[in-house]
Amino acid sequence: MTELNRRHMLKALIALGGASVLNVPAVHAQAQSLVITTYGGSWEKFWRDVLIPGFTEETGIDPTLDIGLGRTYTTNIRAAGVGKSPYSCLMTNEIYSTVLRSEGYFEKLDLAKLPNYADLYEVATEASEGWAAVGLISPIGLGYRTDMLSKAPTSWKDLWEDPELKGRLGLYNIKNSAGKMFLMLTSMIYGKGIDDLDVGFEMLKELGPVYQTDFNMSTAMATGEIAVAPFDFGEIARLRNQGLPVNCIMPEEGLMMWDQTFNIAKDSPVRDEAYAYLDFVLGPVGQDLLMREFFVSPVNKKVVVPEDLTIDVPVSGEAMGQFIKWDWELMNDNAEEISRRWNEIFGA
């Protein structure tokens, strides 16, 4: 850890006692002070214990934290109306951001207020075309039990072509964005592109029976119910550090990812504070803290993964160019039909 990051981390921990973070009292009212979002569990704990105190120490701004999920945030923002968002800076998956952005709830980023934006990898900026920035990337490769396979997979195609993997595959279901990415990935590999969904669905039928989950793949991997699955590298790192014989590879066709996209609310009365928060998240200090906590790939080029973390955070530097670009508008516009066809193959 650099001296700068070490100093900021220590300040963040010292500042813990002074952080004032409360739940949003009324989501239907426009935020008059800085309101930021995250998820529950370990996410909430990290935001409260480390990230917010570090941000407050650096800027003097004391934000309010709201805990929820993309579906909830979407409902609340729509209920409030355009220009009246209950959240100043919203963090959510790009699949939700795409919809809300098209409906006019966010402003295009003022890059003069985001000096750290210039240091981001292309994967953090290309999807939103200047309307948002990806602040966290959880790369998804092929995770597997090293004690259950005779050889490591190297390609997504192995899921179809390696008989050793038949009946031992786990997939995130179509409710999860990883399920949608897997459909587009299949369409890209065997069809004309990620939008060649007819070919994608035909190839999914060839996989045979699979284990499906909406959220947690780790339990099935830990119990040996599955031997291989699309897996978050960070989650594989946690399982490995607990002693489980697992590994994760970067398939030759490219990587999937869970993204956390940050958006600035349109007409926010605390616009400057929202930009200060986003710039902190995108900066070297914020990215270093997030990397160490969640094993996410830092999106800022100035952050170098230290040697002791390279096994847990293997996707960085040049490897950041291996992420596949997805079409979330295609998925959202055809969501009902896509879910129907997926469930006909694998069951709900």
Q: Which domains does the chain possess?
A: 3-137+258-314 (3.40.190.10), 139-256+324-346 (3.40.190.10)
Measured between alpha carbons, how far is 191 from 198 in angstroms, rounded to an integer? Answer: 9
User: For the chain, what percentages of helix, strand and coil (3-state, to nearest 5) are there?
Assistant: 45, 15, 40
Each residue's pLDDT tens digit in the chain (348 positions)? Answer: 343 343 344 343 333 323 333 344 444 466 689 999 999 999 999 999 999 999 999 999 999 999 999 999 999 999 999 999 999 999 999 999 999 999 999 999 999 999 999 999 999 999 889 999 999 999 999 999 999 999 999 999 999 999 999 999 999 999 999 999 999 999 999 999 999 999 999 999 999 999 999 989 999 999 999 999 999 999 999 999 999 999 999 999 999 999 999 999 999 999 999 999 999 999 999 999 999 999 999 999 999 999 999 999 999 999 999 999 999 999 999 999 999 999 999 987
Q: What would the two tokens of residue 125 be?
A: 């900026």
CA dihedral 149, 151, 157, 159 (to 10 degrees): -10
Measured between alpha carbons, how far is 232 from 168 in angstroms, rounded to an integer? Answer: 18
